Amino acid sequence: MQPLFTDRLWKKVEPIWKSYLEHPFVKGLGEGWLDKEKFKHWMKQDYVYLIEYSRLFALGSAKANDLTTMTTFANLLHGTLHMEMDLHRNYASKFGITAQELEETEAAATTTAYTSYMLNVSQRGGVENTIAAVLACAWSYNYIGKALATWPNALEHEFYGNWVQMYSSDEFTALANDCIDLINAIAKDKPEHELALLEDIVVKTSYFEYMFWDMAEHQAMWPIPSTALV
């Protein structure tokens, strides 16, 4: 049986993704001691990230060459706008933050760089670029969620348990698997130089994922303060 493209990708991203589980933000989330102000910063930044991420799913649906791919992207868009963003809105309510305030969050430097990169490579290429751009986020969050779900009391934690439950859930796993299936299908019979480009997108977005965790841990915005961001 011919190896799947994601088997090749996994060999590249495995060391990067394993580092997520050692990152203090993710460890604190899984072990329950994460500072809530750091989580609040992540939640607000991830919300505006997900708005741009949703644009990618809409773009993928527009670029799709067949109805099956179009439908898959549409389902991913729906799942992100509702299931995933609902989690953020529910957490925001615990901090007294409205959905409108979430939406008006100023994007941090890392958030801006990450989403701009994904949108850029997606617009410059075909639907395969869009699939590669969205893969690391969905797949790695599911990877983290499933890993944390095995940690003692992570699923039952009074505050962070809902996070672990959602990203390890069957529903989110199905969304991640849709992304995996999409890239495996599109990679079939592609020449090596095209596969290498897709691989590079997945590796770079995996590095951006690490940078996003780091941004949340340090509650970073931009290197030099601006009165507009105060």
pLDDT at 228: 55
- Tell me, what's the pLDDT at 230? 46
In whole angstroms, what is the distance from residue 87 CA to residue 89 CA? 5
What pLDDT score does 204 carry? 98
- Our answer to whether residue 209 is catalytic in this structure is yes
Which residue positions in the chain have pLDDT lower than 50?
A: 230
2-34 in b/e burial notation, b at 16+ Cβ within 10 A?
eebbbeebeeebeebbeebeebbbbebbbebeb
Instruction: Please pick, among 84, 128, 199, 209, the residue that the annotation labels catalytic.
Output: 209
pLDDT at 190: 92
**What is the distance between the alpha carbons of residues 38 and 28, in angstroms, rounded to a whole number?**
10
pLDDT of residue 227: 65
Model's pTM, two decimal places? 0.94
**Which residue in the list 84, 137, 179, 217 is annotated as catalytic?**
137
Rounded to the nearest 10°, the torsion over CA 198, 208, 3, 176 is -110
Q: Is 179 annotated as catalytic?
A: no
CB 146 within 8 A of CB 44: no
